[in-house]
């Protein structure tokens, strides 16, 4: 443990140094002081978290973060030392599924715990209903100060994502150092994630001593943004993604360092997650928001407690982004969100921490959903791609596909024998395919949430329309 702490101190010192070099002294008004001072905790401390009234919640969402590209998830490159540190002293969810491969659809499900089919947030113009109950509203009602800092226009307040936040802001972009490269400027954004960290630090400066819920949505990975001076992993497109993951991990490290320096980490539940992954031509597709295969839907999820676990715990059973807030609210003994498809993972967490057997008698299927026509001018018929993950299998239904080899209507993969999921075994396993097909059809037949019936239609502003055009969508 000492070694890890020493190493973490080193990491933080390194992060501070890199920050000073990259941005000049005075960028963040912090100095590296002491290493992680969280006490060691155990199962009892987890169980009794809800009895404490001094626990804050920091939620850092790293956009476009594919689980397979994190060293915290076994990737051979050292892309994520901060995630690794938090996982090694907390919880890592080893098989975690996002509910879409496109930000807005995915975040609407994450914030409500409700699957995309039931949120009604499936197309570029759809917004989240004001009648939906979000965790920010629950935190606010429980007396937390609430703030959201975001840089992705798909979660802007006009799409309904500001509910429950007292402050919900896009941070002003500062000048970017010359050595910073942005290889994927599909979405043109001002500034960098360091601006988001600055804004978060400012919020904590004012409200850090109250009880708070802070959401920080990082975008540098989406943009393939990295600092050439600190690049470790080569220069092709996929290498640059890894460089950006590493860069963003260091930005996260700066924010956590700030919590350490302000004596806040031992009063903070840290929640780290992502909205979707990224593809690198595995099956002829690059980027995200096109399909729901493993590359774009297997995402990381880590929880750090206000104390350290002696050694990190991995949850091996399947989990989903719709489970995140039911779990966190349950841990803190706050009111549950209504109508969720997700559920609290506290039973799995307690089983894993106490070394009891993990795993359900009957595994719960997990769904991901993308309307392939999400950005097309309406009215346009729906073209849902639905993924059903169950056990080692992943079944994909692509409604509206022609069924030709380059446009398959159905696929089935078994990760037990084919970890990359490139071998379609739909013909070889007709019975399993039938069972999963029924689950996918049943998913599509589910009624909307009480507030999901008529998701508000939001007119895109010119900047948003421009982003869509840049992605190749026909926007009127
Ligand atoms: Zn995204």
pLDDT of residue 459: 79
pLDDT of residue 45: 98
pLDDT of residue 357: 76
Expressed in angstroms and rounded, the spacing between residue 20 Cα and the centre of ligand 1 is 29
CA–CA distance, 68 with 425 (Å, rounded to integer) = 23
Phi, psi for residue 7 in degrees, rounded to 5: -70, -40
Nearest one of 344, 306, 300 to 135, comparing CA atoms: 344
At residue 379 the predicted structure's pLDDT band, cuts being 50, 70 and 90, is: low
Expressed in angstroms and rounded, the spacing between residue 466 Cα and the centre of ligand 1 is 17
Expressed in angstroms and rounded, the spacing between residue 449 Cα and the centre of ligand 1 is 23
pLDDT of residue 376: 79
Which positions ≥6 away from 300 have C-beta within 8 Å? Answer: 65, 67, 70, 72, 73, 83, 92, 93, 96, 272, 273, 274
CA–CA distance, 11 with 404 (Å, rounded to integer) = 51
38-67 mean pLDDT: 97
Contact 450, 131 (CB under 8 A): yes
Expressed in angstroms and rounded, the spacing between residue 265 Cα and the centre of ligand 1 is 27
Contact 67, 294 (CB under 8 A): no
pLDDT of residue 174: 87
Expressed in angstroms and rounded, the spacing between residue 378 Cα and the centre of ligand 1 is 22
41-53 mean pLDDT: 97
Of 117-131, 160-174, 353-367, 396-410, the one with minimum mean pLDDT is: 353-367
- Per-residue DSSP letter, 392: T
For 369-385, the DSSP string reads: EEETTTTSPSS----EE
- Per-residue DSSP letter, 298: B
Counting every residue written for the chain, the total comes to: 476
Contact 199, 169 (CB under 8 A): yes
448-460: per-residue pLDDT in tens? 999 988 778 887 7
Q: In the numeric block, which tokens belong to residue 143?
A: 């007396």
Expressed in angstroms and rounded, the spacing between residue 276 Cα and the centre of ligand 1 is 6
Expressed in angstroms and rounded, the spacing between residue 103 Cα and the centre of ligand 1 is 4
CA–CA distance, 188 with 165 (Å, rounded to integer) = 25
Expressed in angstroms and rounded, the spacing between residue 347 Cα and the centre of ligand 1 is 30
Query: For residue 270, what are the β-bridge partners?
Result: 58, 304
H/E stretch holding 40: strand 40-41
pLDDT of residue 26: 28
Expressed in angstroms and rounded, the spacing between residue 382 Cα and the centre of ligand 1 is 21
243-249 mean pLDDT: 96
Expressed in angstroms and rounded, the spacing between residue 161 Cα and the centre of ligand 1 is 14
CA atoms within 13 A on the CB side of 27: 26
- Per-residue DSSP letter, 231: -
At residue 19 the predicted structure's pLDDT band, cuts being 50, 70 and 90, is: very low
Does 25 have pLDDT greater than 50? Answer: no
In the chain, % helix, strand, coil (3-state, to 5) comes to 35, 15, 50
CATH level 3 topology of 38-353: Alkaline Phosphatase, subunit A (3.40.720)
What is the rounded end-to-end Cα distance, in angstroms, of the chain?
58
Expressed in angstroms and rounded, the spacing between residue 417 Cα and the centre of ligand 1 is 30
pLDDT of residue 33: 38
Expressed in angstroms and rounded, the spacing between residue 188 Cα and the centre of ligand 1 is 14
Q: In the numeric block, which tokens belong to residue 299?
A: 């995402």
Contact 218, 51 (CB under 8 A): no
pLDDT of residue 381: 84
Share of the chain above pLDDT 90, in %: 78
Expressed in angstroms and rounded, the spacing between residue 75 Cα and the centre of ligand 1 is 21
Nearest one of 233, 228, 255, 221 to 75, comparing CA atoms: 233
Q: What is the CATH number of domain 366-470?
A: 3.30.1120.10
Contact 413, 393 (CB under 8 A): yes
Q: Which residue has the higher pLDDT, 448 or 358?
A: 448
Expressed in angstroms and rounded, the spacing between residue 158 Cα and the centre of ligand 1 is 17
Q: What is the pTM of this model?
A: 0.91
Q: Which residue has the higher pLDDT, 465 or 371?
A: 371
At residue 20 the predicted structure's pLDDT band, cuts being 50, 70 and 90, is: very low
Nearest one of 159, 77, 66 to 121, comparing CA atoms: 159
pLDDT of residue 472: 58
174-192 mean pLDDT: 86
Delimit the domains of the chain by residue range.
Answer: 38-353, 366-470
- Per-residue DSSP letter, 228: G
């Amino acid at each position: 443990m000492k070694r890890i702490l020493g190493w973490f101190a080193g990491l933080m010192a390194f992060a501070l140094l890199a920050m000073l070099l990259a941005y000049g002294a005075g960028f963040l008004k912090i100095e590296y002081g002491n290493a992680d001072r969280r006490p060691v905790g155990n199962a009892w401390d987890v169980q009794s978290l809800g009895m404490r009234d001094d626990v804050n919640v920091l939620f850092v969402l790293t956009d476009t973060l594919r689980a397979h590209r994190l060293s915290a998830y076994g990737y051979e490159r050292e892309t994520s030392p901060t995630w690794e540190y938090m996982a090694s002293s907390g919880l890592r969810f080893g098989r975690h599924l996002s509910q879409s491969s496109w930000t807005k659809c995915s975040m609407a499900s994450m914030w409500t715990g409700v699957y995309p089919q039931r949120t009604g947030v499936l197309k570029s113009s759809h917004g989240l209903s004001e009648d939906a109950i979000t965790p920010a509203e629950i935190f606010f009602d429980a007396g937390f100060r609430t703030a959201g800092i975001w840089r992705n226009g798909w979660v802007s307040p006009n799409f309904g994502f500001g509910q429950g936040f007292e402050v919900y802001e896009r941070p002003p972009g500062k000048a970017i150092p010359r050595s910073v490269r942005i290889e994927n400027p599909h979405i043109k954004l001002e500034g960098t994630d360091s601006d988001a960290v600055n804004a978060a630090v400012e919020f904590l400066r004012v409200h850090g001593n109250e009880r708070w819920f802070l959401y920080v949505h990082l975008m540098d990975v989406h943009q393939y943004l990295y600092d050439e001076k600190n690049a470790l992993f080569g220069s092709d497109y996929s290498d640059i993604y890894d460089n950006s993951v590493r860069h963003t991990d260091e930005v996260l490290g700066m924010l956590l360092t700030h919590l350490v320096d302000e004596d806040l980490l031992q009063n903070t539940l840290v929640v780290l997650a992502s909205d979707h992954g990224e593809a690198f031509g595995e099956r002829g597709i690059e980027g995200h928001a096109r399909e729901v295969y493993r590359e774009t839907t297997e995402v990381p999820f880590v929880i750090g407690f206000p104390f350290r676990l002696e050694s990190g715990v991995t949850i091996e059973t399947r989990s989903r982004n719709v489970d995140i807030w039911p779990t966190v609210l349950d841990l803190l003994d706050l009111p549950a969100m209504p109508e969720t498809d997700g559920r609290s993972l506290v039973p799995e967490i307690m089983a894993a921490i106490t070394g009891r057997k993990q795993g359900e008698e009957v595994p719960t299927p997990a769904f991901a959903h993308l309307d392939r026509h999400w950005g097309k001018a309406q009215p346009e018929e729906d073209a849902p791609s639905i993924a059903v993950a169950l056990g080692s299998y992943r079944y994909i239904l692509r409604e509206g596909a022609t069924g030709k080899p380059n446009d398959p209507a159905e696929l089935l993969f078994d990760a037990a024998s084919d970890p990359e999921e490139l071998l379609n075994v739909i013909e070889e396993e007709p019975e399993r395919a039938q069972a999963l097909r029924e689950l996918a059809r049943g998913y599509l037949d589910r009624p909307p949430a009480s507030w999901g019936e008529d998701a508000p239609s939001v007119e895109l502003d010119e900047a948003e329309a421009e982003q869509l055009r840049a992605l190749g969508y026909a926007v009127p």
